[in-house]
A = this chain, B = another copy of it.
Amino acid sequence: MKKSIFYHAGCPVCVSAEHDIIELLGSNNVEVVHFGEDTTRINEAEMAGVKSVPALVTPNGNVLHINFGASMADVKA
């Protein structure tokens, strides 16, 4: 199965959601991208339709915005 991608920015809401998602999906099924550690992935996430973090992009390309940690504008600030 193609992996889901979990985008986050290290905020408390993000970290909590990351734990939940990894527990639910299994760590082998999720790639975790932390914008604070890799700003080069921000553009890719926006192209995928990510409007806020934390967000999960599913293998078929749907974006699930989970709770609300920060907008993409905040991430880039």
Q: Interface on A for B, CB 8 Å cutoff?
A: 4, 16-17, 20-21, 23-25, 29, 58, 60, 62-68
Residues of B within 8 A of A23 (CB): 58, 60
Contact A62 B20 (CB under 8 A): yes
Query: Apart from A17-B64, A20-B60, A21-B64, what are 10 other A-B pairs with CB-CB below 8 Å?
Result: A20-B58, A20-B64, A23-B58, A24-B25, A63-B67, A64-B66, A64-B67, A65-B66, A65-B68, A66-B66
The 3 closest A-B pairs by CB, nearest first: A64-B66, A20-B62, A65-B67
Identify which of A25, A29, A60, A64 gathers the most chain B CB atoms within 10 Å of its CB: A64
